[in-house]
Amino acid sequence: MFQITINGNPVTTHDGATIFEAAYEDQYARTQFDTDILSLHYLKGVQEKEDSGLCIVEVPGKGIVNAVDTVVEPFMVVLTKSEEVRRRQKEILQDILKHHDRDCRNCNRTGNCELQDVQYSLRTTKNPVTEAFDAVPVRADGIIVRDDNKCIRCGRCVAACEKIQGIGAIKMEGEGLTAKIVPSKGETLIESGCVGCGQCITVCPVGALYERDDVAAVLEAVRDPEKYVVIQAAPSVRASISEAFGYPIGSGTKGKLAAALRKIGFDRVFDTVFSADLTIMEEANELVERIQNGGKLPMFTSCCPGWINYCETYYGDMIDHLSSCKSPQQMFGAMVKTFLAEKEGIPAEKIVVVSTMPCTAKKRELGRDYQNAAGVPDVDYSLTSREVARMIQMEGISFPGLDEEEFDAPLGIGSGAGTIFGATGGVMEAALRTANDWLNGEPQNALDFAEVRGVAGVKEATYKVGGLELRVAAVSGLENAKALLEKIRTGEAQYDFVEFMACPGGCVNGGGQPQQKAKVRMINDIRAERAMTLYHLDQHDSLRKSHENPEIIELYDTFLGKPGSEKAHAYLHTKYQAKGE
């Protein structure tokens, strides 16, 4: 460790750090002094290069240098706002703005846009660009919308899809600020192998990529007196949605979320943690049956639709390993339109089921076959966390000012096991709690399976469960999934049960979650901080096993019979189809 100075202030850094890294490494200096360095391309862990030309500083004796490419030296002097640095940055910014639609008022990233931050830093909020902007059509490609008018050609989306997810469904076509993001093969993203995970959207610094917006359609349904509109909220949404309202990363606001949804006008507000528990009942039962009856092992979890799309598209020969269980989103819709409809005498055709999810792939899941337990779609609309935040704002609701409220019952009680579904390893841990009790024939004290926790891309463990040595793995991020699947295929790795999540870190880092800027990601692991909230809620929950949930017990006693029953299979299970590359 040694010191350099940035803008005359002492900054402690380490040997081998770049100037850009040094500007964020020293927490005291970062919070007390002005060490900020402009950037638009760099994103830690995704794309660690900066070609915009904005990320420059002046080093006496070296001149103007790229802060991402230049390694620090002891006693180095760095100037981030010298006259020459600012002159060059303003020229570059103006060039970017010539190729950028500047109608910020109608952009969904207004107020949370990295390009706006650069404009403000350079004090160019009064835009001097006068040339007419020649707009091109916005492309609605399935659930993902691409707006080349907003794109700044940073390449983050391409890097996320290729490097982090190992898919490469998009590419940069052309050069410089006239290049375009296009499918890497075929005319559409789906033809190009896109699985709908939305990681490209989460890393976009501007409003060039976003999900299909279903807010208007949902609000229209809410205001229709002929429709009975219910909404469910996924576990990880409670650990993230508050970020859209200025709360720190990972703030848990379950009660305020329930209150906000109720205030919008939904007829019932339910908790998807309930159907996460239901998923565990069916999935753990399926795992036990496969182990005891010589079924296909390892069994793969089926909760993540991005992962399901990936498996069907790229590993069609392995779909027999997938659990036949529907996802919690779909199980919930199935129970609303069958069990709740029967219980409360409401025709399934009149019920509209809406989900608030951390996920973009959930929107694609709605159109899958075998997702209509009552003869109508299990779920009608799936909104991302971002969409729900916008809906709350559109309705003029002060989120911080809301009182804490509970979710509705029935279908509103969930266990701590269901809550941790949102973190990578959470589905595995929840299933182990139940399988451990069932295979041992009595309740076990083991509740925390720490080996499958954490944000590592691949986690492996072996647990003694009811006399069995159960070999498990939890994987997040599709590049990691690919590596593990190849080992399973060749026999290099052997497991009994594997949890897969498409997004790195799991649903807490889903493609539909509130977007955090590159500078926030430099100093925070948002996956770990959001996951910590879910584990905290689990730790302090009096109910921590899915099979001990009284509403789940009642559902089986009065409606489904038992886990894996004929009725449960008809309503809660599905089928898969290999699609080929």
Q: Count the Cβ atoms, other than its own, within 10 Å of residue 370.
A: 14
pLDDT in tens, 185-226: 989 999 999 999 999 999 999 999 999 999 999 999 999 999
In one-letter notation, the amino acid at residue 238 is R
User: How would you write 508-545 as a 3-class SS string?
Assistant: HHCCCCCCCCHHHHHHCCHHHHHHHHHHHHHHCCCCCC
CATH code, residues 215-274+330-394: 3.40.50.1780
Distances (CA, A) of 276 to 217, 374, 465: 26, 20, 22
Give me the CATH topology for the region 2-98. Answer: Ubiquitin-like (UB roll) (3.10.20)
For the chain, percent of residues with pLDDT exceeding 90: 92
Burial of 219 (0-12, 13-18, 19+ CB in 10 A): middle
With contact defined as beta carbons under 8 Å apart, do 335 and 278 qualify?
yes
Class of domain 281-326+424-529+538-572: alpha beta
Where does the chain hold its CATH 3.10.20.740 domain(s)? 2-98
pLDDT above 50: residue 581:
no
Question: Helices 254-264 and 385-394 meet at what angle, rounded to 10?
Answer: 60
Residue-wise pLDDT for 12-63, tens only, equals: 999 999 999 999 999 999 999 999 999 999 999 999 999 999 999 999 999 9
Rounded average pLDDT over 428-457: 92
Confidence at residue 84, expressed as pLDDT on a 0 to 100 scale = 97
Identity (one letter) of the amino acid at 33?
Answer: F
Q: Which amino acid is at 358?
A: P
Give tens-digit pLDDT for 317-373. 999 999 999 999 999 999 999 999 999 999 999 999 999 999 999 999 999 999 999
Please tell me the number of Cα atoms within 13 Å of 116 on its side-chain side: 16
Residue limits of CATH 3.30.70.20 in the chain: 139-211
130 has a pLDDT exceeding 70:
no
Q: How confident is the model at residue 466 (pLDDT cuts 50, 70, 90)?
A: confident
The more confidently predicted of residues 124 and 115 is 115
CA of 83: how far to CAs of 10, 88, 167, 487, in Å?
21, 9, 43, 55
Mean confidence (pLDDT) of the chain: 95
> What pLDDT does 102 receive?
87
Q: Do the Cβ atoms of 12 and 23 come closer than 8 Å?
A: no
CA 574, 414, 516: angle at the middle one, nearest 5?
Answer: 85
Q: What is the pLDDT of residue 135?
A: 85
Query: Which residues belong to CATH 3.40.50.1780 in the chain?
Result: 215-274+330-394
What is the predicted pLDDT for the residue at 167? 97
How does pLDDT run across 146-162, given as a tens digit for each residue?
Answer: 999 999 999 999 999 99
| Exposure on the CB side of residue 204, measured as CA atoms within 13 A | 26
Q: Compute the C-alpha angle 437/442/443, nearest 5°.
A: 60
- Of 7-16, 101-110, 384-393, give the lowest mean pLDDT range: 101-110
Is the pLDDT at 432 greater than 90, yes or no? yes
pLDDT at res. 445? 87
Residue 115: CA count within 13 A, CB half-sphere = 28
Q: Is the dihedral of CA 115, 117, 118, 124 positive or negative?
A: positive
The alpha-helical segments, DSSP class H, found in 350-460 are: 361-365, 385-394, 416-419, 426-440
| 6-19 per-position pLDDT tens digit | 999 999 999 999 99
Burial class of 157 by CB neighbour count within 10 A (0 to 12, 13 to 18, 19+) = buried
pLDDT digit string, tens, across residues 479-513: 999 999 999 999 999 999 999 999 999 999 999 99
Q: How far apart are CA 518 and CA 359, in angstroms?
A: 20
468-476 and 268-271 as β-strands: parallel, antiparallel, unpaired? Answer: unpaired
pTM score, two decimals?
0.94
DSSP per-residue codes, 169-187: -EEEESSGGG-EEEESSSS
* Backbone φ/ψ region at 396: left (φ over 0), alpha (ψ -120 to 50), beta: left
Question: Which 3-state string (H, E, C) describes 303-360?
Answer: CCHHHHHHHHHHCHHHHHHECCECCHHHHHHHHHHHHHHHHHCCCHHHEEEEEEECCC
**83-98 and 114-121 helices cross at what angle (nearest 10)?**
140
Residue 352 CB coordination number (10 Å): 23
The yes-or-no verdict on residue 88 having pLDDT over 80 is: yes
In the chain, which segments carry CATH 3.40.950.10?
281-326+424-529+538-572
Statement: residue 142 has pLDDT above 90:
no
**What is the average pLDDT across 522-542?**
95
In the predicted model, is pLDDT for residue 131 greater than 80? Answer: no
**Selection from 368, 358, 252 nearest residue 308 by Cα:** 368
Terminal C-alpha separation, the chain: 49
CA–CA separation, 492 and 316 (whole Å): 19
Distance of CA 452 to the CA centre of its chain: 19
pLDDT, one tens digit per residue, over 543-561 is 999 999 999 999 999 999 9
Sign of CA dihedral 41, 42, 48, 49: positive
The yes/no answer on whether domain 139-211 falls in CATH 3.30.70.20 is yes
pLDDT at 128: 56
Q: Cα separations (Å) of 217 from 142, 222, 364, 544?
A: 17, 9, 16, 36
Residue 446: predicted pLDDT: 81
